[in-house]
Structure 1
Amino acid sequence: MKVLRLVLLGSVLWILLYSCASGDNQARVLTDTPKKGAITISVDESFRPIVDALIQVYESNNDSTKIHAQYKPEAECMADLFNDSIRMVIATIKLSEKQLQSVVDSLHVVVKQLPVARDAVAVIVNPSSSDTLLTMGEIRSVLTGNYIKPLIPVFDGLSATSTVRFLLDSVLKGQKITSKAMGASTSDSVIQFVANNPNAIGFIGVSWIGNQDDAQQLSFLKKVKIVQLESSDKPGKYVLPVQANIYTKRYPMTRDLVYIVKEGHRGLGTGFAEFMAGEIGQLIFKRAYLMPGRRNFIIRPAQTKE
């Protein structure tokens, strides 16, 4: 009987060990890696052009990967932090330690965040407009409806977007946006509306119109004009949202682009995050005329001969 019990006990242990091993093997088969698998990420709609470019290059370099990007208003992206099916959020908000811990406690995963680039809110007007040099005081007047001309502010949505949040928090600082303001469904819709309406003034992420090597963005620049804003360090001097001015924050409306990745293992989200912060990803940001956030740059004075 003692021998029989030992045999039965050994059999049970063998079955349990086999089951655990089979489960582990199955888990490994279903688990993605930085070089293989598919994930869904949530992205602030303002950054569709640059994130599309990043995904295209990453998938080209890792042909066994598929990154499904859902583009939506920033508030919806942040709500997706608590959605198990969303592995990464790309937006302009950096979470506080308390907010990070809330996500960790809710989902029981490792959460990492990092600013990877600096963006700017560009101001665009109709080609017929003479309002191409504006101070931040005048921008506030436009947004509150008190400008000397009846300009209509147009955004990529009237609420929940990163552009609207930036203007409310960093520009208006408690003042209310005029009731005449209009919201379009997407950033390219803002461009089209401004192109067709002489009294419209649009606010969009610079990645939609900053890349002069992009055929679509060049076509946009034929339809609208980019407004120069008064420099934050030299009153009376007006600057465009180009890389040097974004880097120094001389252009007064800049913001960071941040990734938040939440994974319980080293998966595809982690791989894509490291790619964005790495050399190739940073070069893609540079080529898109955003300011790479993970590389140091030296700005040297230069002169041109007329």
Structure 2
Amino acid sequence: MKQLIGMLLLLLTLSSCNNKQEKKGQPEVSRTVGNATLLVDESFHNVIDDQITVFNSDYPDAHFKVINGGENKILPTFLNDSVRVIVMSRVLTPEEEMIYTKRSIPVFTSRFAIDGIALITNNSNPDSTITAAEVISILKGTSTSGKSLVFDNAYSSTLRYFKEMAQIKDLPKKGVYTLNTNADVIKYIRENKTFIGVVGVNWLLQSQDGDRGAYSNQVKLLAVKNLPGKKGDDAFYKPTQNHLISGIYPFLRNIYIINAEGKQGLGTGFANWLVSQRGQLIVLKSGLGPHKYTSREFNLKN
């Protein structure tokens, strides 16, 4: 009996050693180690780049591949299961989420920031304000002001946001135009004095270097008054951080990270990081509205 027990212990020891040797050749995967690919709405790539930089300072064995693009360009890649983590300004529709449900893969959605959509114009334009009603009338093609809107591209979340707000499916033949990138919008507004550009606040705040900075210094923000009966209908507000946090600026949108990783991998770890206290401080530093705003209290003693 003692010999039999000894043989069993020897076999278990050898099996354990073999398993360790097999695992030794495989890369470690956890919430802070490994590789992850992220699909990111190009309007938000600046704040995601900042988050990754700080995340990597704490976890150097975390490696990210970021694919930036317009919302309608990157979403199909997420839905066909090629990449399972996406950052965009809306949640999945029930039909879209059902695609993963049929695969028995859970989908976790977390809001981690509040972005604003800024309206910009040339510095020489005498206008400094605009109403949400006027913006809607331009989108519907009923405006008589002669003003025109310029968007980054036809596939962007920014354009989708305004089409939904105006309750239109198609753009009018005149008054609304699309280019290719946010940088193109700023350049166009710099060179055309009567147009209004539409860009994300996050992109605008962090595009002050190089050529983009030279263009952005020659444009100005328009203050916006909301529709009657809605918050922000009492005055004209610019998309400052305080106005994003208070919700008083009319054109607000949430930023979500949607994770269908289906395991405790790096994508899951990064999604949790974004809503952590440190991740939220990075959002606050970026000029956006954090999902969780923690006030700082000071104890003053004589």
Shift of 1:97: 5.1
Structure 1 CA distance for aligned equivalents of residues 143 and 102 of structure 2: 48
Shift of 1:218: 5.7
Match of 1:269 in 2: 267
Q: Deviation digits for residues 268-297 of structure 1, max 9, x if unmatched?
A: 101111111111211111111110013355
Match of 2:184 in 1: 189
Shift of 1:186: 1.4
Amino acid corresponding to residue 248 of structure 1 in structure 2:
S
Match of 1:111 in 2: 107
Alignment coverage as a number of residue pairs: 279
Matched, 1:143 2:124: no
CA RMSD of aligned residues (A): 2.9
Instruction: Give the direction of change, closer, same or farther, for the CA distance of 1:130–1:70 in structure 2 (3 Å limit).
Output: same
Shift of 1:104: 3.2
- Is the contact between residue 206 and residue 241 of structure 1 (CA under 8 Å) also seen in structure 2? yes
Match of 1:45 in 2: 42
**Counterpart selection for 2:59 from 58, 62, 65:** 62
Instruction: Give the direction of change, closer, same or farther, for the CA distance of 1:94–1:24 in structure 2 (3 Å limit).
Output: farther
**Counterpart selection for 2:254 from 253, 256, 260:** 256
Structure 1 CA distance for aligned equivalents of residues 272 and 180 of structure 2: 31
Shift of 1:55: 1.6
**Counterpart selection for 1:223 from 210, 218, 224:** 218
Match of 1:6 in 2: none
Structure 2 CA distance for aligned equivalents of residues 142 and 126 of structure 1: 18
- Is the contact between residue 54 and residue 281 of structure 1 (CA under 8 Å) also seen in structure 2? yes
The unaligned stretches of length 5 or more in structure 1 are 1-9, 299-306
Amino acid corresponding to residue 126 of structure 2 in structure 1:
S
- Is the contact between residue 118 and residue 200 of structure 2 (CA under 8 Å) also seen in structure 1? yes
- Is the contact between residue 122 and residue 226 of structure 1 (CA under 8 Å) also seen in structure 2? yes
Structure 2 CA distance for aligned equivalents of residues 279 and 150 of structure 1: 46
Amino acid corresponding to residue 208 of structure 1 in structure 2:
W
Amino acid corresponding to residue 259 of structure 2 in structure 1:
V
- After superposition, residues 1-306 of structure 1 pair within 5 angstroms as 21=19, 25=23, 29-30=26-27, 32-96=29-93, 99-106=96-103, 108-158=104-154, 160-170=155-165, 172-174=166-168, 176-180=170-174, 181-210=176-205, 215=209, 219-231=214-226, 232-233=230-231, 235-296=233-294
Identity in percent: 25
Q: Deviation digits for residues 88-134 of structure 1, max 9, x if unmatched?
A: 1000111245543431323x433211111111111111111122211
Structure 1 CA distance for aligned equivalents of residues 96 and 168 of structure 2: 23
- Is the contact between residue 168 and residue 175 of structure 1 (CA under 8 Å) also seen in structure 2? yes
Instruction: Give the direction of change, closer, same or farther, for the CA distance of 1:95–1:49 in structure 2 (3 Å limit).
Output: same
The DSSP-based 3-state class of the residue aligned with 1:185 is: coil
The DSSP-based 3-state class of the residue aligned with 1:52 is: helix
- Calculate the TM-score normalised by the size of structure 2: 0.82
Which range moved further: 268-277 or 45-54? 45-54
Amino acid corresponding to residue 173 of structure 2 in structure 1:
S
Which range moved further: 181-190 or 248-257? 181-190
Match of 1:302 in 2: none
Instruction: Give the direction of change, closer, same or farther, for the CA distance of 1:228–1:82 in structure 2 (3 Å limit).
Output: same
- Is the contact between residue 186 and residue 215 of structure 2 (CA under 8 Å) also seen in structure 1? yes
- Calculate the TM-score normalised by the size of structure 1: 0.81
The DSSP-based 3-state class of the residue aligned with 2:32 is: coil
Instruction: Give the direction of change, closer, same or farther, for the CA distance of 1:275–1:255 in structure 2 (3 Å limit).
Output: same
Match of 2:300 in 1: none
Match of 1:3 in 2: none
The DSSP-based 3-state class of the residue aligned with 2:53 is: helix
- Is the contact between residue 123 and residue 201 of structure 1 (CA under 8 Å) also seen in structure 2? yes
Amino acid corresponding to residue 152 of structure 1 in structure 2:
S
Structure 1 CA distance for aligned equivalents of residues 43 and 94 of structure 2: 25
The DSSP-based 3-state class of the residue aligned with 2:112 is: strand
